[in-house]
Chains A and B, each alone.
Chain A
Amino acid sequence: MPETTDVAELREKLSRAAQLLFFRHHLQPGAKAWELRRALGRDYEQILKLLDAELEKLGLMVKRVSEGEEGSESDRYFITLRGHPKLADARTFGWRVDDMAMLTVAMAHVLSKGGKAPLKEVERILQEKFPRWRVESTIDRFIRRGYLSEDDQGVLYLGWRALAEVDQRTLLGLLLGKEKSEGAEAEREEANEEEKKMEEQPDRGR
């Protein structure tokens, strides 16, 4: 009988952990370590491991992100995709190819400069490839959504969302290993045409 009680308790904690991580309680999604400790008890990390194992079956994972010292109580836990989406999928959930390219350029430049770079410098690089009016508004959007952050000196950093969602080492590795794909321009034109069609139907995928 005690074993059954333990299992029931564990299941309850597991579902509580899933609720805390799936449902947004604050401005940012996920939950902080101290919140999880308070809700699940001292062994919250074990519960999260169990949850991670359950989520693996669905292609999801529990991810821990440290903003300062590792192992701090302010570390935040999120649920993210275990793998990565396909380019076509990303477009259906509201991302334009150009936006994704701009985010790659901004993040890669910031990372190559040791984690920070002047906003003006990032804008200048982006303006080599994209129209100026789009660059400014898109960077603003990335800042609002937490992919980038800007301090009062006009210096850009990676934002909380980029730290949680993007595997920085993979990003830089892929970038360096990437060869210009054949017919990329043709594909780009095709993609632009498709995007234009999507824009004409604002209810779809936005």
Chain B
Amino acid sequence: MPREHQELLQRIVELCDAVRKSGLDPFDVEVREFFDRLRELLPKLKTNEELYLDVQAVLGLADVIFQQGEWIKHKSSLLYLDPLLITLKLYALPARDLAEVLVRSWHPIIDLESLSLPAIREGLDYWRNLPALDERFKELGVTEVMTGEIARRELAKMGILSDEDLTALLDRTWRELKEAVGEKEFISYWKFIQGKSFEETVFRAWLVSFLVSYGYATLDINPLEEEINLKPLPKPQVLENVATFSVPIAISREEWLKRRRKHA
């Protein structure tokens, strides 16, 4: 679509929005002229995006006509007074005079708080479910357990600690990545994380996520080619002035099997 057509459509949409949101005088909008322009433009519009903008513009102008109706109703009502005059008064009068204006036009509502049926039911339910006092203050039954020792290997078996420190593990994976890349600049992400088992593949993907987050490597994603490349950095660094974002990469067992068969 020629740029000026798009600009015209966008200008109409924005103008109509401004009338709705910021209380601009709707009669400032040349509705008829804009409709004439839209009619001329319509045969030239081809894509969905162009037609969508056109629809938005027509809806916006229809809303402006509605606002004009409301404006006429307001101006013809006894409540209409020059807004400028009102604003000047609001600026000029001290707080006490303004408060007096409110008080003299004010008829406060008189009402009394009372219990409603749902509130009584809620109270009753609460009371019925409330444990007896002796139950509420009953001490928790705690058995004292003496402290003991557990070997690091046992903790690793339980999955609480890894056999290796995470930093050392990352360092090792980083060196492995640099070796795998060799002379080239990068390696395919999928190739690098591919392990002998599905669990190992997921584990390597997890390590790679740390490598990228901690500045050991970068991910280069080409969505059109559906390629993800992994590039190791010579030394860990926090990249400044670079837009960073999270990239979710799903790994399913089926996908892993398919890749494994492909590379077998």
Contact = CB atoms under 8 A, between A and B. Distances in A.
Q: Is the A/B pair a real complex?
A: yes
Interface of A: 22-26, 29-30, 60-61, 63, 78-87, 90, 97-98, 100-101, 103-105, 107-109, 111-118, 121, 125, 128-130, 153-155, 161, 164-172, 174-176, 178, 180-181, 184-185, 187-188, 191
Interface of B is mostly: helix
A85 B21 CA distance: 35
7 contacts: A101-B99, A104-B90, A104-B102, A108-B90, A118-B22, A153-B21, A154-B21
Nearest to B100: A87
B243 interface: no
A172 B86 contact: yes
B133 interface: no
Interface residues of B, number: 42
Contacts of B109: 29-30, 78-80, 161, 164-165
Given A23-B111, A25-B116, 4 more contacts: A61-B107, A81-B106, A85-B103, A187-B96
A97 B79 contact: no
A17 to B, nearest CB: 14
B102 A171 contact: yes
B81 A112 contact: yes
Contacts of A128: 91
Nearest to A161: B109
A125 B83 CA distance: 13
Given A85-B103, A101-B102, A165-B106, A112 B112 contact: no
B164 to A, nearest CB: 52
